[in-house]
């Protein structure tokens, strides 16, 4: 066997040993995979929150510009009624 071939075999054995150590070590490849999953989950949560923020911005704009929307919101959330109106609260069993 030539020196070059021996050196190549040693390098291959070292590479396999390091790969196995990385997979077996909790701070190695497994940690990388777990962190990658965490990042994907956080990206999904960020997208959901961004969509919720957009919906809230639209609702704020509607409340500021449209008196009918403001009136409807006040009636629903605060229970306001106009003078002379009668409100019936119906509950289902």
93 within some domain: no
Per-residue pLDDT band at 24 (split at 50, 70, 90): confident
Among candidate residues 67, 69, 89, 91, the one with its CA nearest the CA of residue 79 = 89
Structure tokens at 12: 């291959």
Predicted TM-score (pTM) above 0.85: no
Contact call for residues 63 and 69 (beta carbons, < 8 A): yes
pLDDT of the residue at 26: 63
65 within some domain: yes
10 within some domain: no
Number of domains in the chain: 1
Structure tokens at 81: 């009624």
57 within some domain: yes
Contact call for residues 49 and 41 (beta carbons, < 8 A): no
For 46, the domain range is 26-79
């Amino acid at each position: 066997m030539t020196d070059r071939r021996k050196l190549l075999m040693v390098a291959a054995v070292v590479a396999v040993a390091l790969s196995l150590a990385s997979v077996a070590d909790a701070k190695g490849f497994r940690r990388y995979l777990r962190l990658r999953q965490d990042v994907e989950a956080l990206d999904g949560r960020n997208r959901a929150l961004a969509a919720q923020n957009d919906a809230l911005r639209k609702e704020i704009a509607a409340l500021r510009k449209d008196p009918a929307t403001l009136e409807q919101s006040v009636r629903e959330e605060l229970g306001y009624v106009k003078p002379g109106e009668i409100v019936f609260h119906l509950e289902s069993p």
